[in-house]
């Protein structure tokens, strides 16, 4: 399918006086979590809540900081998530995309709000 990038805004809801971070995120439905690079953690003043062991693409394991909460904005959607701190770009995984009711459109390689619910995010809770 290729890479899908999207502009997102990240905020620290506990520190509203800090400037939000505008980032181009890699949207990957095969990934699970929100991941942010260390410089975004610093810019947003996000405290480490705990550590998580992650399995990397090469099968290796690594202990990384888990921070949050992070307020995410994409178009008319908002969501909250914790984030793993690693890598050099923002990675938007399935959990935050599902929370904001976003979908990847393979044909155009874009991230979009769900066209079946364009005005307000929906969720299944049964």
Beta strands in the chain (DSSP E): 5-11, 21-27, 34-36, 48-55, 61-74, 77-85, 90-92, 102-105, 110-113
> Model's pTM, two decimal places?
0.94
Yes or no: say if 84 and 66 are a contact pair by the CB < 8 Å rule. yes
Name beta bridge partners: 10. 21, 72
pLDDT tens sequence for the chain (126 residues): 568 999 999 999 999 999 999 999 999 999 999 999 999 999 999 999 999 999 988 999 999 999 999 999 999 999 999 999 999 999 999 999 999 999 999 999 999 999 999 999 999 888
Q: How many other β-carbons are positioned within 10 Å of the β-carbon of residue 73?
A: 16
């Amino acid at each position: 399918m290729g890479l899908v990038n999207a502009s997102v805004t990240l905020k620290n809801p506990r520190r509203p006086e800090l400037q939000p971070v505008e980032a181009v995120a890699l949207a990957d439905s095969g990934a699970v979590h929100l991941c942010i690079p260390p410089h975004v953690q610093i810019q947003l003043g996000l405290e480490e809540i705990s550590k998580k062991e992650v399995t990397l693409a090469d099968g290796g394991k690594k202990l990384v900081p888990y921070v949050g909460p992070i307020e995410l904005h994409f178009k008319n959607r908002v969501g909250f998530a914790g984030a793993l701190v690693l890598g050099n770009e923002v990675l938007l995984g399935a959990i935050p995309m599902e929370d904001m009711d976003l979908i990847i459109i393979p044909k155009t390689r874009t991230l979009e709000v769900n066209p079946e619910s364009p005005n307000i995010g929906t969720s299944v809770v049964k």
